[in-house]
Chains A and B, each alone.
Chain A
Amino acid sequence: IAGITQAPTSQILAAGRRMTLRCTQDMRHNAMYWYRQDLGLGLRLIHYSNTAGTTGKGEVPDGYSVSRANTDDFPLTLASAVPSQTSVYFCASSVAENNEQFFGPGTRLTVL
């Protein structure tokens, strides 16, 4: 692994299903973030983690949960997907919260 990866690349999901988006970084960055990007709305922060073992809510956390069991992984879970969660999801990491962020390639999620 080099940098930050996300899986899957894209997914079509039935409403009501549970889904976990995966994010892994090998840069030993302390801070990690999940964003959704929708046309006309820009990047909006869902959840973040400043260090392993801690998480916080961003601007649009409802319907999403995260965990940070170790430094490298930061999965995002949709407990019961709804069509309004159709979006492109980006994971990002940074050395610390006041440093530049490195973004993963994104996951395109469609909820029908």
Chain B
Amino acid sequence: GQNIDQPTEMTATEGAIVQINCTYQTSGFNGLFWYQQHAGEAPTFLSYNVLDGLEEKGRFSSFLSRSKGYSYLLLKELQMKDSASYLCAVLGGSYIPTFGRGTSLIVHP
């Protein structure tokens, strides 16, 4: 089976940096996705990692360590609009996606 863990909730200050961690145990591995979901809306794609290392995309970066079963999403220069849930999703060996329960990020002034 698959097991994905991420913190339930985090808070941060506008302008700051926050790191959201995701650990996973899967049968096989074919990539890890991060999605953002604002309240009452559908998830939207942020990043995809399949090889070890850091992928940077503007204010958002995502890191993967396959040997440790670990990823993080780094958000820089936080804005109020970054308040949302952040979902970690892993593609296992069968290419079936499994989502974590999501991390609710609250950004305050």
A contacts, CB < 8 Å to B: 33, 35, 40-45, 48, 50, 56, 58-59, 90, 97-98, 100-106
Chain A neighbourhood of B95, CB < 8 A:
50, 97-98
Q: What is the bound-complex CA distance between A2 and B95, given in angstroms?
A: 26
Nearest CB of chain B from residue A23's CB, rounded to whole Å: 12
How many chain-B residues does the 8 Å CB contact rule pick out? Answer: 22
> Contact: B97 with A101, CB < 8 Å?
yes
Q: From B31, B41, B91, B99, give the contact of A43 (CB < 8 A).
A: B99
Nearest CB of chain B from residue A44's CB, rounded to whole Å: 7
> Contact: A98 with B30, CB < 8 Å?
yes
> Contact: B42 with A100, CB < 8 Å?
no
Count of A-B contacts judged by CB separation below 8 Å? 50
Nearest CB of chain A from residue B52's CB, rounded to whole Å: 17
When C-beta atoms are compared, the residue in chain B nearest to A57 turns out to be B96
> With contacts A97-B91, A98-B91, A104-B42 known, is A42 near B99, CB below 8 A?
yes
Q: From B31, B98, B99, give the contact of A98 (CB < 8 A).
A: B31
> Contact: A44 with B96, CB < 8 Å?
no
Over the window 53-85 of chain B, the binary record of Cβ atoms lying under 8 Å from chain A Cβ atoms (1 yes, 0 no) is 000000000000000000000000000000000
B contacts, CB < 8 Å to A: 30-31, 33, 35, 41-45, 48, 50, 87, 89, 91, 95-102
Chain A neighbourhood of B35, CB < 8 A:
101
When C-beta atoms are compared, the residue in chain A nearest to B4 turns out to be A42
Q: What is the bound-complex CA distance between A59 and B35, given in angstroms?
A: 19
Q: From B43, B45, B102, give the contact of A90 (CB < 8 A).
A: B43
Nearest CB of chain B from residue A8's CB, rounded to whole Å: 15
Chain A neighbourhood of B100, CB < 8 A:
42
Q: What is the bound-complex CA distance between A106 and B44, given in angstroms?
A: 13
Chain A neighbourhood of B87, CB < 8 A:
42-43
When C-beta atoms are compared, the residue in chain A nearest to B2 turns out to be A59
When C-beta atoms are compared, the residue in chain A nearest to B85 turns out to be A42
Q: What is the bound-complex CA distance between A45 and B1, given in angstroms?
A: 14
Chain B neighbourhood of A42, CB < 8 A:
87, 99-102
> Contact: A100 with B33, CB < 8 Å?
yes
